[in-house]
Structure 1
Amino acid sequence: MDFATAIGLVAGVGTVLGMILIGGGSLASYFDEVALVCVIGGAFASTMVRFTFPTMMSGLPMGIRYGLSMLKTSPRQLLDEITQVADVVRKSGPMGLENVQVDNPTLAQGLRYVADGYDREFIKDALEKDRDNFVQRLEDGSKVWRGIGDVAPAWGMISTVVGMIMMFANMEDPSKLGPAMAVSLLGTLYGSLIANVIALPIADKLAMRLSAEEVLRSMIIDGILQIRDQRSPTIVREMLSAYLPEHHREELAEA
């Protein structure tokens, strides 16, 4: 899991629990099944109306898998790896790729294309389609989680309205006023927590991951094409350094 995400989730949950415990309340008093069902069920229902079912089934796991995880490879590490592979191909030709092992699956796929002798246009089109499809799935995931974050507070308000109606409808029975008030107030709390601690942060993380993955995969595509053309490692490094952040380019120039 991404370090910042883990800290943020723990801090968010810890803040709420700390407020409850410091205030002298019990955790059981902050749990209400009716309000929880209203907010969670309503948020998912509204999001399913907004998106297609395949988009929902793809977007939800994308958020959990990629929104909460870190990139395994940085652009600088990827640059060094591609440069090393270019050096192997420059010295041994495409057959030298049989002994090359890389962790990045996209880079590995591109190197298999080069080793098998596919033409340049096929390699470019295949890798670009794979990149675009993956980026589109990340974008769909971001939209789904943002949709949940958008409607969760509204369903919290709906829960509040339902609780108020329940309370006013049972004014003659004091025993029912407490549960109705719990539905009214806890629905707003649940909606705000789901939106601001879970859904919207995951949506933003996916949007950031989308940009990072697009850069990395574009970098891989350009690197693979340069390797296929058997360009020198120096030319490959100079070309791909344009994908690095400014401070990394300065470090590379100094090195």
Structure 2
Amino acid sequence: MDILSIIGVILAVVAIVGGNHLEGGHIQALMNGPAALIVIGGTLGAAFIQTPLPAFKRALGMFPWVFASPDVPLREGIGKVVNWSNTARKDGLLGLETIAEMETDLFARKGLQLLADGCEPDTLRSILEVELVSRENSDLRAARVYEAMGGYAPTIGIIGAVMGLIHVMGNLADPSMLGSGIAVAFVATIYGVALANLFLLPIANKLKAVVLEQSGYREMLLEGLLAIAEGENPRSIELKLEGFLD
């Protein structure tokens, strides 16, 4: 569980609501159904138009990473690679076949199977790099869905503000109708700006960081597998891979 993300959400909400209260405002003033419908519906609609369905599904699947990102055990991964290296030196590359069958990480399993099949280092690199880059691009594309929504939300908020002002101008002769129109105008702007800058853009950046962290782990595995294929000493492999640690 990412405690910083939880604190961030709470702090953002408390800052907005608390600041409004300190200025003498009421929470009811920030609650406006039409404004929320315009901003949230318009932002989602724009995102739907822009985003292919697989990327949007992936973006939804990655959302929990904001609060509970997948574990990236770099140090443990280095230990695994060193153990694979010791096995390869003792039993040959074929000895990695049994390890590959028990490996839960699909990227590592594929690399081990290629090693056990006698794949040349250059071929091994080209195959695994294609998968690494493809997966990274797919995940980054999904993270950019939130970034795109963060770009649309403030503009949709302005559209809501203009719609509210049009409503106000059309009811100048009826003062009882002015309040609701003005409320929609200002609250829609708040919703758009707050949704983008307090939630959508931070979510996008958080997911990008997690994706790059996962890619770094796979790069470490790739370098380790290549070192095993080239017959490097396990101790040398360990020292090399420790460069991936922060």
Query: Structure 1: which 5+ residue stretches go unaligned?
Result: 246-255
In the alignment, structure 1 residue 171 sits paired with structure 2 residue 172: yes
The one-letter code sitting in structure 1 at the alignment partner of 2:87 is V
Q: Equivalences for 1:87-102 in 2 at 5 Å?
A: 87-93=86-92, 94-95=94-95, 98=98, 101-102=102-103
TM-score (norm 2): 0.84
Secondary structure of the corresponding residue to residue 148 of structure 2: helix
- Please tell me whether the aligned partners of residues 55 and 140 of structure 1 are also in contact (alpha carbons under 8 angstroms): no
In the other structure, the counterpart of 2:17 is: 17
In the other structure, the counterpart of 1:32 is: 32
Number of aligned residue pairs: give it: 243
In the other structure, the counterpart of 1:189 is: 190
In the other structure, the counterpart of 2:202 is: 201
Q: CA deviation at 1:39?
A: 0.9
- Please tell me whether the aligned partners of residues 72 and 213 of structure 2 are also in contact (alpha carbons under 8 angstroms): no
Q: CA deviation at 1:57?
A: 1.8
Query: Structure 2: which 5+ residue stretches go unaligned?
Result: none
Q: Equivalences for 1:24-103 in 2 at 5 Å?
A: 25-49=25-49, 51-54=50-53, 56-58=55-57, 60-61=59-60, 63-93=62-92, 94-95=94-95, 98=98, 101-102=102-103
The one-letter code sitting in structure 2 at the alignment partner of 1:73 is V
Secondary structure of the corresponding residue to residue 136 of structure 2: helix
Give the whole-Å Cα distance in 2 for the aligned partners of 1:17 and 1:109. Answer: 51
Secondary structure of the corresponding residue to residue 5 of structure 2: helix
In the other structure, the counterpart of 1:8 is: 8
Give the whole-Å Cα distance in 2 for the aligned partners of 1:102 and 1:56. Answer: 28
The one-letter code sitting in structure 2 at the alignment partner of 1:89 is A
The CA deviation string for residues 149-203 of structure 1, in whole angstroms up to 9 with x for no partner, is: 1121111111111111111211222332222122111101111111011111112
Give the whole-Å Cα distance in 2 for the aligned partners of 1:181 and 1:193. Answer: 18
Deviates more, 1:159-168 or 1:73-82: 73-82
In the other structure, the counterpart of 2:140 is: 139
Shift in alpha-carbon separation, 1:63–1:106, aligned structure 2, 3 A? same
Q: CA deviation at 1:136?
A: 0.5
Secondary structure of the corresponding residue to residue 161 of structure 1: helix
Give the whole-Å Cα distance in 1 for the aligned partners of 2:163 and 2:12. Answer: 27
- Please tell me whether the aligned partners of residues 149 and 196 of structure 2 are also in contact (alpha carbons under 8 angstroms): yes
Shift in alpha-carbon separation, 1:57–1:71, aligned structure 2, 3 A? closer
Give the whole-Å Cα distance in 1 for the aligned partners of 2:20 and 2:106. Answer: 46
Secondary structure of the corresponding residue to residue 231 of structure 1: coil
Secondary structure of the corresponding residue to residue 15 of structure 1: helix
The CA deviation string for residues 203-251 of structure 1, in whole angstroms up to 9 with x for no partner, is: 2113322332222211111112223444321121122233333xxxxxx
State the Cα RMSD in Å.
2.6
In the other structure, the counterpart of 1:106 is: 107
Q: CA deviation at 1:87?
A: 1.9
- Please tell me whether the aligned partners of residues 156 and 188 of structure 1 are also in contact (alpha carbons under 8 angstroms): yes
Percent identical residues: 24
